[in-house]
Structure 1
Amino acid sequence: MQKKLFTLCVATLLLSLCLPISAAQEKATETQINSLKKSIAELVETLGTLKGERKSVQQALRRSDKSIGELAREILRLNNQLKGAEDRLRKLERKKAPLFKSLKQEAVNLEQQLRQQHKAGTQPRLQLLLTQRDPEQVSRMLHYYDRINQTLSQRLQNFRAGLVKLDQAESDIRSAQQDIFDRRDLLKARSGDLESVRKERRVVLSKLENKLSSGSQQLQAMQVDQERLEQLLSKIRSSIEKISLGGNERSFRELKGRLPWPAKGSVSRRFGSRNSGVRYEGVLFSQRSGYPVKAIHHGRIVFSDWLRGYGLLTIVDHGGGYMSLYGHNESLLREVGEWVSSGDQLATVGSSGGSTKPGLYFALRYKGNSTDPLKWLARR
């Protein structure tokens, strides 16, 4: 008995020691994530203010891209809510149909019984009392008539309850229909806002193209954009090493040639191709605006913001030095610090960052070095 008591005390003590450690670890992880967000935000702010860019066309492009991203994200949310409301309406209508059918049949049966009861009136009961000499027979027959009346009363109560349920179902349907109308109106309004911002963006892009009219200016701009991305990735790598956000290096490496595609679409620009002398560090998938962009593997979001040349960009750390990049998005759906699994939606395809056509920029990095993403994706 003493041995069992001692074992129980030791187990309780160990549990009490483990709980604060677990809570402390969770708090430390949250602090580390906030630290990562802060350090990256500071770097993005620094990159954005270089060479007076705050007053430049690029800053206007950033504002319009982010506005489009917020509106597109809200439209996606409203569409999902609208689908949910429509599903709810269909369920309510399916619920109403058998209820209405049952109530209709009950009304027919009740009407027949009431007619029979009215036709019989009180004569059989009175005649029974006047003519029947056997007390037991009288008692049985009176009990029979009482049961009939009780059954009729119960059926009337059930019918009233059914009417209440039917009325509630119809009220719920009207409410669901109004909800759908309201959401459609809001969706229409937001879609109009989105189109207005897109028009503003086209004006900004036209100014940007005029500003980068010569080949040398385009080359300089692309080199600056690439340098900014390298600075960002370097900062992210150093922050990740400090706070240990990485996953399993081996599991990612073993999936080379078998990873899912981040988005369907044709490859319009390949890894290693050159434009104005600058080497392309990723691939570009052509796809319509709004198409889902999905994570290729389990990991953690380490960047989710706008970056010049790449627009609305999401970066996922997969551990062991591996990172995947998803750029030119229309909207970003994940926040820094969130865990994602393979196939989880990260963003929607767009043309942010100065692109004239919608598409997904996709890149892979291993310890800062670029690698051909197509060699890692499954064959089609």
Structure 2
Amino acid sequence: YVHKARSEKVAQFMRDVEHLEDTQATILRRQTEVNAARETLQTKRKLLEQQSAQRKLTLAKVEKSIQNKTSELEQLKQNQTRLETLLREVEKSISELKLPDESTPFRKQKAKLPWPTRGKVIERFGSRQALGKLRSNGIRIAAREDAKVSAVHYGHVVFSDWLRGFGLLIIIDHGDGYLSLYGNNESLLREAGDWVRPGEVLAYAGNSGGRSQASLYFEIRKNGKPQNPLRWLKR
């Protein structure tokens, strides 16, 4: 009986040991699963934190861009106001212009005027600027720095100086209310009061006035109203 009782206790002990080992294996497996889940959660948390940081950065960039665009809009408005004020002053000081006999009236020069400089048009007349709230009154021609800028027709230089936003600017009176404007130059070769002929070099192209690249800003006006220069220049 003693032997039998001992055998039963040993057997029970062995069963308890096996059960304990199974329990430990189960606990270890579940612990491994918990650790894996924890690592997954940590990875997801890091990813969410990165996405949140990226969204904040993107939002900050958007807000800064809006501020910059708003600032750009105000700057362009001020630039246009300065130019319009200058043109009104110029028009008041212009007397009736007598051009050389060999000069064809400007009004008859549509699609015949020579280009003021060589290059690709990178800003067209009427193109939208600063959140689309302003339109360009002229064209912008990409040009290498120090490229020659020439007069498009006979005329009288009525302004040759610096104007904020337009850099070194030349304005030529062609008579009958027509003016041509050449802005953002690197240097000016003609002064107010000078007479010029078609093709005569007025300036050298540059990026004065805060431009990021060398280019020429070109306008044509009739009685103060902007005209599309591309309709006047040779095609």
Q: TM-score scaled by structure 2?
A: 0.68
Structure 1: distance between partners of 2:199 and 2:98: 19
Structure with more of its chain in helix, by fraction:
1
Structure 2 match to 1:303: 159
Query: Is residue 274 of structure 1 aligned with residue 167 of structure 2?
Result: no
Structure 2 match to 1:230: 84
**Identical-residue share of aligned pairs (%):** 47
Query: Is residue 262 of structure 1 aligned with residue 135 of structure 2?
Result: no
Structure 1: distance between partners of 2:221 and 2:149: 18
The C-alpha deviation readout for 1:281-321, integer Å capped at 9, x for no partner, is 00000011000000000000000000011000000000000
Matched AA of 1:336? A
1:358 to 214, 218, 233: 214
**Residues 246 and 320, structure 1, Cα contact 8 Å, conserved in 2:** no
Matched AA of 1:266? K
2:191 to 335, 341, 363: 335
Structure 2: distance between partners of 1:214 and 1:361: 22
Q: How does 1:1-380 map onto structure 2 within 5 Å?
A: 214-240=68-94, 243-245=95-97, 247=99, 251-276=105-130, 277-379=133-235
Instruction: State the Cα distance separating 1:218 from its structure 2 match.
Output: 1.0
Structure 2: distance between partners of 1:326 and 1:378: 17
Instruction: State the Cα distance separating 1:214 from its structure 2 match.
Output: 2.1
Instruction: State the Cα distance separating 1:217 from its structure 2 match.
Output: 1.2
Structure 2 match to 1:126: none
Structure 1: distance between partners of 2:183 and 2:123: 14
SS in 1 for 2:105: helix
Structure with more of its chain in strand, by fraction:
2
Instruction: State the Cα distance separating 1:245 from its structure 2 match.
Output: 3.7
Structure 2: distance between partners of 1:348 and 1:246: 28
Matched AA of 2:127? S
**Residues 246 and 318, structure 1, Cα contact 8 Å, conserved in 2:** no
Matched AA of 2:141? F
Q: TM-score scaled by structure 1?
A: 0.43
Matched AA of 2:228? D
Q: How many residues align?
A: 167
Matched AA of 1:293? V
Instruction: State the Cα distance separating 1:247 from its structure 2 match.
Output: 3.9
SS in 2 for 1:363: strand
SS in 1 for 2:185: strand
The C-alpha deviation readout for 1:187-213, integer Å capped at 9, x for no partner, is xxxxxxxxxxxxxxxxxxxxxxx9x95
Structure with higher Rg: it is 2
CA RMSD in angstroms comes to 1.8
The C-alpha deviation readout for 1:44-103, integer Å capped at 9, x for no partner, is xxxxxxxxxxxxxxxxxxxxxxxxxxxxxxxxxxxxxxxxxxxxxxxxxxxxxxxxxxxx
Structure 2: distance between partners of 1:225 and 1:255: 29
C-alpha distance 361-342 of structure 1, shift in aligned 2 (>3 A): same
Structure 1: distance between partners of 2:128 and 2:206: 22
